[in-house]
Amino acid sequence: MGRKIVVALGGNAILSKDASAAAQQRALLETARQLVKFIENGDQLIISHGNGPQVGNLLLQQAAGSTQDNPEMPLDSCVAMTQGTIGYWMQNAMNQVIRERGLDQAVATVVTQVEVSSDDPAFGQPTKPIGPFMNKAEADLAQKQNPEFKFIEDAGRGYRRVVPSPKPIGVIETAAVNTLVDAGIVPITVGGGGIPVVRDGNRLVGKEAVIDKDFASEKLAELIDADALIILTAVDNIYVNFNQPNQKKLKRVSTVELGRYIEQKQFAPGSMLPKVEAAVDFVNTTGKEAVVTALDNIEGFIKEGEGTVIVKQSVSTSV
């Protein structure tokens, strides 16, 4: 068995402008054509994914169709629904590409619960954007229809609903994921950051929250002793001074240097920042490497080591 790698895929790589099931399935087929390159390279692949756009859309549908006899489902249940839906689409896409390439690999989705602390301060301060971008009029209407929701302006792109985003402290299905990995099966797990749950004696109780998929993927990678954490995003590398004349691409960088950039507020909250923080956490905890790069740069990473490679100690390189 080759390297054991957790690959974290953003929800926006699945859904762009067209929210139809057919469009998302087409997008996942293209995603699978990239991800299967890890299998061809001999790696043991573990796939995680976001669900921000999907769960936000589902919540709006639930609220719009809610009646006394058929009430809307809570957020934790909606996360589970999107885990199942995206997992189903991704399984089929991966299976199709695996067969096209003449490979022999099984894929299985694990509906995954992620433990959080009931005392996490995030529950008192919703910050995690979910769902589609709206203009001011649309956000005002959604607020009127759903008074308990909170909406914020997000990165100059419009308004989105925000929900609590507690930090993961454990992955309930770790043993199940390890069993699949040991059998050579590709697990799709911690979808949408996992279903947030807290312990109440022998019970696990779902919470109205969304866990950041990068932090959940880091926690999973740590718990299953992965050899690397690879976080896929829209750009090939992490940049500092992004989109400015003195923009700098980071190629190989230490967690210490990234820590300084975080202090300088180089990375946008809700966008690159959680990816960088999750990568730093994984490297500092395990001593292993993390990588941040783009989905369509997977071949470049496998063959040439392209992307931003984060290590515990190194002489950083940038351009």
Please confirm, yes or no, whether 303 is among the known catalytic residues: no
Decide: helix, strand or coil at residue 306: coil
Residue 230 token pair:
């690879």
Catalytic residue among 11, 131, 192, 307: 11
The two structure tokens encoding residue 136: 């001011």
- Residue 36 near residue 98, CB atoms below 8 Å: yes
Kindly name the residue from 10, 50, 57, 213 that is annotated as catalytic. 213
- Annotated active-site residue 12? The verdict is yes
Using CA atoms, how far apart are residues 194 and 168, in angstroms rounded to an integer? 9
Q: Give the whole-angstrom CA distance, residue 221 versus residue 208.
A: 24
Angle CA 99–101–103, to nearest 5: 65
Out of 4, 207, 219, 275, pick the active-site residue. Answer: 275
Quote the tokens at residue 68: 């006394």
Q: Is 158 a catalytic residue?
A: no
- Which residues lie closer than 8 Å to 144 by C-beta, 6 or more apart? none
Tokens at 11, concatenated: 């929800």
213 is a catalytic site residue = yes
Catalytic residue among 4, 128, 207, 219: 128
CA distance 90 to 84: 10
Instruction: List active site positions.
Output: 11-12, 128, 213, 275
